[in-house]
Amino acid sequence: MLTLHPMKEIRIVVEGEHLKLVTNLLDRVGATGYTIINNVSGKGHHGFHEGHLLFDDTSSQVIIFTVVPEERIEPILAGLGPLFHKHSGAMFVSDVAVTRRDHFVVP
């Protein structure tokens, strides 16, 4: 029988130019992995954003997904605070459960 372990899923939406900042932060705080979706379209506080590339990957929006233990949330919030104070973007944190806890926790 599989056992479920509580974790937090974080979805971060930023301009592509900030992708490296976000992934570096996730690496520093101990996220064991993440998924990146490029060229995201959608409508938000700053209007509609097209998913096509204008010049390169930095000119469109991206979504970064990760799953971390709850204690990793505060360092991620602290690291992203300055970015979201100056630039558009969003972050969503949800409760999730995983079966392979060891895949999401740094030893």
pLDDT in tens, the chain (107 residues): 899 999 999 999 999 999 999 999 999 999 999 999 998 877 776 666 565 555 555 568 899 999 999 999 999 999 999 999 999 889 999 999 999 999 998 87
Q: Which of 24, 27, 22 is nearest to 82 (CA)?
A: 22
Write down all domains in the chain, each with its CATH number in brackets. Answer: 5-99 (3.30.70.120)
Dist CA 62 CA 15 (whole Å): 6
Dist CA 10 CA 75 (whole Å): 13
Dist CA 68 CA 98 (whole Å): 10
Q: How far is Cα of residue 95 from the mean position of the Cα atoms in its chain?
A: 14
